[in-house]
């Protein structure tokens, strides 16, 4: 879960998780036409899919590896490393037939055992995976990561060289989306055994089964290259021959390189949107990533429900988007809109309705109740944010808006390094905390049970909420209409009635893209660039 918070907060910091680009100068040569010069804003942490915890590593893995499923151009999860799948009558056991023509870049076959090896490494407590929470849906996943079951009991089994069986705790509808994630990729068992603890620590200490291979990454380098993987089963569909990556941490630097013709893609953060939004190369996209606040229920002031409701209702979200973010849109609930649809194509957010928003009159009424219950006319509350410029700007807006709208409220802003912010939040050293979070799969339960909701399981004891969540996971798992009704009830309890969290906005990403680049797209979550279908024309 920590990985998701880190990645999402990085997204907000300039909406610049990466700077993907084509080299305009080199593309004029026919021999180099399919070479791109690409950049990201941070270094790779690891290429071990069991241990990564950042967006850059995720982007590189998603372009160089392939799992059972991959997103197509429409953002739909489709079989990739597997050619067929069958499901048991109780919808808990999936049997995958793997591609017999899938190879690792060293020529080894991609086998069912390679998935078993990788998944067991990810849930093994000794590896401290930041994504082991994704395995809660796999049989015994939660107990294994808690050290209560042996790694070998995980619900995955090789039935043969090319036959893989996956067993779930309960039926779920979003398994294909979930299995597109890098944390579910296979790992060449022979290479893992040979490299030991060095696996994935440099580009030469692992092999690849996806569209590209990584070269030149030493473990700390700020430049590396992706080259077309000729052993990839679908190599004929990959047009680019090379992507030269470099780390560029300053958005202005990327924009200057774009204007100079050295990049064909560059992000445009909130400071530059007005300057570039009329540019013919400008593009903007609203993502399902949340900007939100969470309250510390263990402290007397923020433990008061009227305080929390007043604060949530007292923030003008539309104005925040308009004057500070310049992209994205105001949140009306915790679950993002235009992201999750039912069998009839109806947006979940539409069905759930508006559960959060700006209502000054109601905010003042709740604030009056809070002051009366607390016996105070003046109240001081601290807002914790990371020290990234974009996070601080949002924090300053919230501080100003609340102090203007709620008489007697003093908001103190504390901005600290992200790592410290995460640590202080987990340790309950905050009153209210601001951050962002991106989902891992397209289902409301991801937002409602993980969602960047610090200390949810330990602090939030509402029986109705957990009853509805449990019904959605078990009794109603195969009954879509009843399951959605339970999830909507849970969201209403969490957001509207108890205000455990105050959803603020859905983050946007803006960028400049040269018209010569065709087939470029972002992940459905708006966080990483996909180069599988890119072609320079």
| Over residues 102-120, mean pLDDT | 98
Residue 423 inside a domain? The answer is: yes
128 lies in a domain? yes
Residue 10 is predicted with a pLDDT of 36
User: Which DSSP string do the residues of 94-145 spell out, in sequence order?
Assistant: EEEEEPTT-B-TTS-B--HHHHHHHHHHHH-GGG--TTGGGGGGBTTHHHHH
Q: Is residue 451 part of a domain?
A: yes
Q: Domain check: are 321 and 454 in the same one?
A: yes
Where residue 186 sits, what CATH number does that domain have?
A: 3.90.76.10
pLDDT band at 28 (very low <50, low <70, confident <90, very high): very low
Long-range contacts formed by 279-283: CB under 8 A, 24+ apart: 279/512, 281/512, 281/513, 281/514, 281/515, 282/510, 282/511, 282/512, 283/510, 283/511, 283/512, 283/513
**162-186 as b/e: b if 16+ CB within 10 A:** bebbbbbbbbbbbbbbbbbbbbbbb
Q: What is the CATH number of the domain that holds 437?
A: 3.10.105.10
Instruction: Round to whole Å and give the CA distance between 23 and 45.
Output: 25
Alpha carbons 447 and 269: distance in angstroms, whole number:
25
53 pLDDT more than 80: no
Cα 212 → chain centroid: 22
Tally of domains within the chain = 2
C-alpha to C-alpha distance for 3 and 9, rounded to whole angstroms? 10
- Mean pLDDT on 150-156: 98
Q: Are 40 and 163 in a shared domain?
A: yes
Q: In the prediction, which pLDDT does 344 show?
A: 86
Bridge partners for 95 per DSSP: 86, 165
DSSP SS3 for 332: coil
pLDDT of 250 reads 83
Same domain membership, residue 339 and residue 200: no
- Between 381 and 41, the more confident residue is 381
Structural domain boundaries enclosing 212: 35-247+514-536
367-394 in b/e form (b: 16+ CB < 10 A) is bebbbeeeeeeebebbbbbbebebbbbb
Same domain, 141 and 228: yes
Looking at the DSSP assignment, which residues form a beta bridge with residue 19?
Answer: 39
pLDDT reported for residue 32: 64
Q: Which residue has the higher pLDDT, 31 or 274?
A: 274
Question: What integer best gives the mean pLDDT of the chain?
Answer: 90
- pLDDT tens, residue by residue, 351-396: 999 999 999 999 999 999 999 999 999 999 999 999 888 899 999 9
Residue 30 has pLDDT above 50, yes or no: no
Read off the pLDDT of residues 244-293 as tens digits, 9 standing for 90 and up. Answer: 898 888 889 989 988 998 888 888 888 888 899 999 999 999 999 999 99
Res 191 pLDDT > 60: yes
Secondary structure (3-state) at 530: strand
Asked whether residue 218 falls in the same domain as residue 333, the answer is: no
Within a domain: residue 267?
A: no
Assess if residue 436 is contained within a domain.
yes
Q: Which residues face 284 on adjacent strands?
A: 510
- Phi, psi angle pair for 249, to nearest 5°: -90, -15
One-character DSSP codes across 135-155: GGGBTTHHHHHTTSS-GGGSS
Q: Are residues 518 and 495 in the same domain?
A: no
Mean local confidence (pLDDT), 504-512: 92
Regarding whether 361 and 218 lie in a shared domain, the answer is no
Whether 480 maps to a domain, the answer reads yes
Indicate whether 51 and 189 sit together in one domain. yes
Q: Is the pLDDT of residue 520 over 50?
A: yes
227 and 120 in a common domain = yes
Is the confidence at residue 5, as pLDDT, over 80? no
Whether residue 477 sits in one domain with residue 410: yes
Nearest to 451 by CA among 436, 461, 466, 464: 436
On whether residue 152 sits in a domain, the answer given is yes
Same domain, 518 and 448: no
pLDDT at 286: 92
Tell me the angle at which helices 480-491 and 463-473 cross, rounded to the nearest 10 degrees.
Answer: 160
Exposure string for 224-243, b = 16+ CB within 10 A, e = fewer? bbbbbbebbbbeeebbbebb
Burial 266-285 (b: 16+ CB within 10 A, else e): bbbbbebbeebeeeebbebe
Q: For residue 276, tell me if it sits in a domain.
A: no
Residues 63, 134 within the same domain: yes
């Amino acid at each position: 879960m920590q990985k998701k918070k880190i990645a999402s907060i990085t997204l907000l910091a300039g909406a610049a998780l990466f700077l993907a680009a084509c080299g305009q100068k080199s593309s004029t040569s026919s021999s180099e036409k399919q070479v791109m010069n690409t950049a990201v804003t941070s270094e790779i942490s690891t290429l071990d899919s069991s241990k990564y915890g950042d967006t850059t590593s995720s982007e590189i893995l998603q372009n160089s590896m392939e799992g059972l499923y991959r997103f197509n151009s429409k953002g739909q999860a489709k079989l990739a490393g597997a050619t067929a799948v069958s499901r048991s009558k109780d919808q808990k056991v999936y049997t995958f037939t793997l591609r017999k023509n899938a190879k690792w870049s060293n020529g080894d076959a991609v086998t069912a055992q390679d998935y078993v090896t990788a998944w067991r490494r990810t849930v093994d407590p000794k590896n401290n995976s930041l994504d082991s929470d994704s395995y809660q849906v796999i049989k015994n996943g939660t107990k294994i990561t808690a050290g209560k079951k042996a790694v070998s009991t995980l619900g995955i089994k090789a039935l043969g060289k090319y036959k893989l069986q996956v067993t779930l705790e309960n039926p779920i509808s979003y398994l294909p989306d979930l299995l597109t994630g890098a944390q579910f990729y296979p790992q060449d068992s022979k290479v893992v055994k040979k490299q030991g603890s060095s696996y994935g620590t440099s580009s030469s200490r692992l092999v690849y089964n996806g569209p590209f291979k990584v070269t030149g990454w030493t473990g700390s380098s700020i430049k590396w290259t992706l080259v077309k993987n000729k052993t990839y089963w679908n190599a004929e569909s990959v047009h680019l021959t090379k992507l030269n990556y470099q780390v560029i941490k300053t958005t202005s630097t990327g924009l200057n390189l774009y204007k100079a013709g050295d990049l064909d893609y560059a992000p445009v953060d909130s400071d530059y949107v007005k300057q570039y939004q009329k540019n013919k190369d400008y593009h903007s996209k609203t993502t399902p990533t949340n900007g939100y606040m969470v309250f510390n229920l263990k402290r007397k002031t923020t433990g008061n429900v009227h305080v929390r409701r007043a604060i949530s209702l007292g923030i003008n979200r539309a104005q925040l988007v308009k004057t500070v973010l310049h992209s994205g849109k105001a949140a009306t609930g915790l679950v993002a809109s235009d992201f999750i649809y039912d069998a009839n194509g109806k947006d979940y957010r539409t069905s759930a309705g508006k559960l959060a928003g700006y209502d000054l009159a109601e905010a003042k009424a709740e604030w009056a109740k809070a002051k009366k219950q607390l016996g105070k006319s003046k109240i001081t509350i601290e807002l914790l944010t990371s020290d990234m410029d974009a996070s601080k700007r949002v924090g300053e807006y919230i501080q100003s808006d609340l102090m203007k709208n709620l008489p007697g409220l003093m908001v103190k802003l504390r901005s600290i390094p992200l790592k410290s912010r995460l640590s202080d939040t987990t340790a309950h050293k905050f009153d209210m905390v601001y951050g962002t979070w991106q989902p891992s799969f397209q289902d409301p339960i991801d937002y409602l049970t993980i969602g960047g909701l610090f200390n949810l399981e330990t602090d939030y004891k509402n029986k109705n909420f957990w009853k509805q969540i449990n019904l959605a996971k078990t009794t109603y798992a195969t009954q879509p209409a009843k399951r959605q009704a339970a999830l909507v009830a849970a969201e209403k309890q969490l957001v509207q009635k108890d205000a455990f969290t105050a959803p603020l906005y859905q983050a946007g990403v803006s960028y400049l893209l040269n018209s010569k680049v065709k087939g470029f797209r972002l992940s459905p979550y708006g966080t990483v660039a996909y180069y599988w279908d890119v072609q320079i024309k």
